């Protein structure tokens, strides 16, 4: 009984922490100056945020943990992947980065 | 205590959703919108898991998994389309 | 390294199949079956039966095309490196988020972004994918493009835009583990 209560509280805390990271990611999306920095803020915060929420859910309802683990693994793989594909698409579409140096644009001619 | 934290978590998730939605509406480029959309879908997955917890029904976890899969594919397709060039 | 065993019941025994392909099929079969069982959350006879039939069929027909697991070094050393990799990765993920949180919450937004070029020694495609993903989720870096042996990385707080220094800072630590996993 006591253990259950401890797990519940820990789970709820993990849940809350996860959503705080999600909100920080949202704030990053709003504040960052260009699409690349926005992707950075978006992808990191949402990945950790979602992982913490799923972890919290697994602590509250232990019988769901296998399926939640599957969702975690899936997100850990696909989330950075979609960000990379978006960053690449932005660069190929010619969205200029706010950057002091852009090696990719410098190398673009001899790579074409 | 746990219930209070729970409600608070749902509210903070709603705030995250609102912030990402602001970027989605504001743009200014198509890529910004897709980035915001990507974040929105992941926040939605969190929302679906919260719904599963509130209702106590595990079927929502399958919904969350399929939702994550489809949104990933959607973002990939949108990105491939954007690679063709904009403006 | 002939890790057959389960593959025999998938019908791979018939016909002369080259060992590498058979190994690919075995790994694919094991992975698919594991995911199926995790998705169902049970090992009832009906679930197990369906899983074995479908995973077996996919493994037999698509082993050549779905060979994303082929490069993994399935030895105690490789598996140990995988666990260390995951641990290091999770630590970096938390660090990345704390750094990002302070950055976003600072009113002046102190960023100095640049797209830098780094080099990788990894040759296995899945190893490279994991490296790119790991870079994307660690402090301030985002992989934009892979061309040949070079990755182009967007760095929010770029300290050094020179190739070797950036490689040492961004890639080296992950590569140490990944080389053992996909060596």
CA atoms of C74 and C156, how far apart (whole Å): 36
What is the least distance, in Å, from the CA of B29 to any CA of chain A?
9
A84–C137 C-beta distance less than 8 A: no
Query: How large is the ipTM?
Result: 0.83
In a domain, B67, yes or no: yes
Mapped onto helix, strand or coil, the DSSP state of residue B48 is: helix
Sheet holding C114-119, edge to edge: C114-119, C150-155, C141-147
Short-list B50, C50, C35, CA closest to A67: C35
In chain B, the number of structural domains is 1
In a domain, B32, yes or no: yes
B31–A86 C-beta distance less than 8 A: yes
* Cα torsion angle, C182, B68, B52, B24, sign: positive
Residue B80 to residues A46, A49, B85: CA-CA distances in angstroms? 22, 27, 10
In chain A, the number of structural domains is 1
Which one of C138, C149, C154, C170 would you mutate to disrupt binding with A, by most A Cβ within 10 Å of its Cβ? C154
Which residue range(s) make up the domain with A67? 2-91
In a domain, A83, yes or no: yes
CA atoms of C134 and C85, how far apart (whole Å): 10
CA atoms of A89 and A95, how far apart (whole Å): 9
In a domain, A110, yes or no: no
Which one of A40, A70, A106 would you mutate to disrupt binding with C, by most C Cβ within 10 Å of its Cβ? A40
Is B63 exposed, middle or buried, given 0-12, 13-18 or 19+ CB atoms closer than 10 A? Answer: middle
Structure tokens at C86: 């995951």
Q: Long-range contacts for B56-64 (Cβ within 8 Å, ≥24 apart)?
A: B56/A61, B58/A61, B58/A64, B58/A67, B61/A64, B61/A67, B61/A68, B61/A71, B62/A67, B64/A71
Compare C22 and B50 and report the one with higher pLDDT.
B50
A93–B82 C-beta distance less than 8 A: yes
Q: Which helix (H) or strand (E) holds A4?
A: helix A2-31
B19–A26 C-beta distance less than 8 A: yes
* Cα torsion angle, A81, A32, C97, B63, sign: negative
Residue with tokens 């961004």: C170
In a domain, A47, yes or no: yes
pTM of the model: 0.82
C101–A24 C-beta distance less than 8 A: yes
Bridge partners of A76?
none
Compare A46 and C164 and report the one with higher pLDDT.
A46
70-109 in A: which are within 8 Å (CB) of C? 70, 76-77, 79-81, 83-84, 87-88, 91, 97-105, 107
Q: How high is the pLDDT of residue B2?
A: 62
Omega into A95 within 30° of 0, i.e. cis?
Answer: no
Which residue among A31, A47, A104 places its CB closest to the CB of C104? A31
Q: What residues of chain A score a pLDDT lower than 70?
A: 1, 99-100, 108-112
What is the least distance, in Å, from the CA of A100 to any CA of chain B?
21
- How does pLDDT run across A12-27, given as a tens digit for each residue? 888 888 999 999 888 8
Band the pLDDT of B87: cuts 50, 70, 90. very low
What is the least distance, in Å, from the CA of C15 to any CA of chain A?
36
Which residue range(s) make up the domain with B77? 2-82
Taking contacts as CB-CB distances below 8 angstroms, the residues of chain B near A86 are 31, 34-35, 38, 75, 79, 82
In a domain, B87, yes or no: no
In a domain, A73, yes or no: yes
In a domain, A111, yes or no: no
Please tell me the least confidently modeled range out of C13-17, C25-29, C38-42, C59-63: C13-17
Taking contacts as CB-CB distances below 8 angstroms, the residues of chain A near C101 are 21, 24, 45
- Per 3-state DSSP, chain C is made up of helix, strand and coil in percentages (nearest 5) of 55, 10, 30
Distance of CA A93 to the CA centre of its chain: 23
Residue with tokens 């599957």: A70
């Amino acid at each position: 009984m006591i253990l259950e209560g401890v797990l519940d509280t820990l789970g709820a805390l993990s849940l809350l922490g996860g959503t705080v990271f999600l909100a920080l990611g949202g704030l990053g999306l709003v504040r960052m100056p260009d699409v690349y920095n926005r992707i950075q803020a978006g992808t990191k915060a949402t990945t950790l945020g979602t992982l913490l929420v799923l972890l919290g859910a697994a602590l509250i309802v232990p019988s769901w943990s296998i399926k939640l683990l599957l969702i975690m693994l899936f997100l850990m793989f696909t989330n950075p992947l979609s960000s990379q594909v978006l960053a690449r698409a932005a660069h190929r579409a010619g969205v200029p980065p706010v950057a002091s140096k852009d090696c990719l644009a410098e190398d673009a001619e001899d790579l074409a | 205590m746990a219930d209070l934290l729970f409600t608070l978590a749902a509210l903070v998730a709603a705030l995250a959703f609102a912030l990402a939605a602001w970027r989605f509406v504001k743009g200014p480029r198509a890529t910004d919108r897709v980035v915001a959309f990507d974040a929105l879908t992941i926040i939605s997955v969190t929302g679906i898991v919260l719904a599963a917890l509130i209702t106590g029904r595990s079927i929502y976890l399958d919904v969350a998994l399929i939702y994550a899969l489809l949104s990933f594919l959607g973002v990939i397709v949108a990105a491939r389309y954007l690679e063709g060039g904009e403006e | 390294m002939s890790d057959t065993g389960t593959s025999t019941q998938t019908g791979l025994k018939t016909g002369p199949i080259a060992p590498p392909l058979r190994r690919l099929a075995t790994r694919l079969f094991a992975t698919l079956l594991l995911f199926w069982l995790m998705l169902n959350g049970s090992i009832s006879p009906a679930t197990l039966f369906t899983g074995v039939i479908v995973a077996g069929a996919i493994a037999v027909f698509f082993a050549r095309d779905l060979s994303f697991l082929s490069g993994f070094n399935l030895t105690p050393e490789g598996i140990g490196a995988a666990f260390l990799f995951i641990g290091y990765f999770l630590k970096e993920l938390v660090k990345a988020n704390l750094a990002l949180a302070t950055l976003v919450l600072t009113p002046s937004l102190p960023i100095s972004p640049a797209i830098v070029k780094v080099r990788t020694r990894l040759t296995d495609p899945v190893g490279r994918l994991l490296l790119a993903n790991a870079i994307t989720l660690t402090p301030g870096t985002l992989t934009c493009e892979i061309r040949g042996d070079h990755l182009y990385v967007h760095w929010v707080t770029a300290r050094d835009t020179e190739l070797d220094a950036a490689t040492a800072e961004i890639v080296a630590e992950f590569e140490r583990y990944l080389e053992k996993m996909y060596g």
